[in-house]
Amino acid sequence: MKQGFFTILENTPLTEKVSRLRLGGDVSAVERPGQFADLRLEGCFLRRPFSVCDQDEESFTVLYERVGRGTELLAALPVGQSLDVLTGLGNGFDPVRGGERPLLIGGGTGLSPLYGLAKTLLRRGAQPTALLGFNTANEVFYAEEFAALGVETLVCTADGSRGVPGFVTAAMDRDHTGFYACGPEAMLRAVCETSDRPGQLSFDRRMGCGFGACMGCTVLTVSGPRRICRDGPVLDREDVLWAD
């Protein structure tokens, strides 16, 4: 974990609701795909957590959806604005768990950390396939970016208006060696019910601190209580206890 000031290099809408934010600064604490950053916003008491989508030597990007006051304020910030950010939070994905042909399964903005993971997996010689789920065609984003990496990319829409009709589970093939998933909890659970392969899931919980101090985000897992911000957000599928 590291605290630092980052400059907004880009803050552009990708769809009606989702924008891409690129932040320039000291990214030395951003170590693994699946980690997140916690942004302090003028006018909000608590920080706002967002997965790191991608990074280079001097910047990282997040993809965020406008869902409330903080994300609306964020969307209004101009390029050049400075932000107080905690980086390098959370455990991140283990690129070995998913094997040679892993599925990357993203629901909505949940696809964000899977993009950085796809790059890491490709570097390691794995052949990931991306399954990206949305409600409807005009909510689709980042499908071209995944495809441009050389990843086979399937878009699924719940209303059938683009790509594979239905939920991402409809597009899960049989010969994948494992999976990484991030998105709504119902999707994570459905993915686990569809595949018996090794998998990792990224969870999202309301947070106080984001770095393990307040116990605000603790969930009970097979191996005991785990703080989603510190011991997660990524959990092995075997470790997850689903609520009834």
Contact positions vs ligand FMN (CB under 6 A): 208, 214, 216
By CB under 6 A, the count of residues binding ligand FAD is 22
User: CA–CA separation, 142 vs 121, rounded Å?
Assistant: 18
Taking CB under 6 A as the rule, does residue 95 contact ligand FAD? no
Strand segments (E) across 14-151: 18-24, 36-40, 48-51, 54-55, 59-65, 82-89, 102-107, 129-134
Can you tell me which of 170, 225, 238, 241 binds another protein, judged by CB under 8 A?
225
Task: Tell me how far, at minimum, the Cβ of 214 lies from ligand FMN, in Å.
Answer: 4
Q: Give residues 84-143 in contact with another protein (rule: CB under 8 A).
A: 84, 86
Query: Token digits for 133?
Result: 């789920």
112 binds, among ligand FAD, ligand FES, another protein, none (CB under 5 to 8 A by kind): ligand FAD
Taking CB under 6 A as the rule, does residue 48 contact ligand FAD? yes
Query: Token digits for 176?
Result: 């994948």
Can you tell me which of 21, 23, 30, 63 binds ligand FAD, judged by CB under 6 A?
63
User: CA–CA separation, 129 vs 197, rounded Å?
Assistant: 15
The 207-236 contact track toward ligand FES, x by CB under 6 A, reads xxxx-xxxxxx---------x-xx------
User: How many beta carbons lie within 10 A of that of residue 169, not counting itself?
Assistant: 17
List all residues 6 or more positions away from 100 whose beta carbon is below 8 Å from its beta carbon.
Answer: 126, 127, 177
List all residues 6 or more positions away from 138 whose beta carbon is below 8 Å from its beta carbon.
Answer: 15, 16, 161
Cα angle, residue 221 at apex, residues 53 and 29 outer, rounded to 5°: 30
Nearer to ligand FMN, 214 or 222 (CB): 214
Task: Tell me how far, at minimum, the Cβ of 41 lies from another protein, in Å.
Answer: 11
- What single letter denotes the amino acid at residue 42? E
| Residue whose C-beta lies closest to ligand FMN | 214
Taking CB under 8 A as the rule, does residue 208 contact another protein? yes
204 binds, among another protein, ligand FMN, ligand FAD, none (CB under 5 to 8 A by kind): ligand FAD
Cα–Cα distance list, 67 to 4, 56, 60, 71, 197 (Å):
25, 28, 22, 6, 33
Q: Are 63 and 108 in contact (CB under 8 A)?
A: no
Taking CB under 6 A as the rule, does residue 40 contact ligand FES? no
Residues that bind ligand FES (CB under 6 A): 207-210, 212-217, 227, 229-230
Residues that bind ligand FAD (CB under 6 A): 36, 46, 48-51, 62-65, 67-71, 109, 112, 204-207, 233
Residues that bind another protein (CB under 8 A): 1, 3, 40, 44-47, 84, 86, 205-209, 211-220, 225, 230
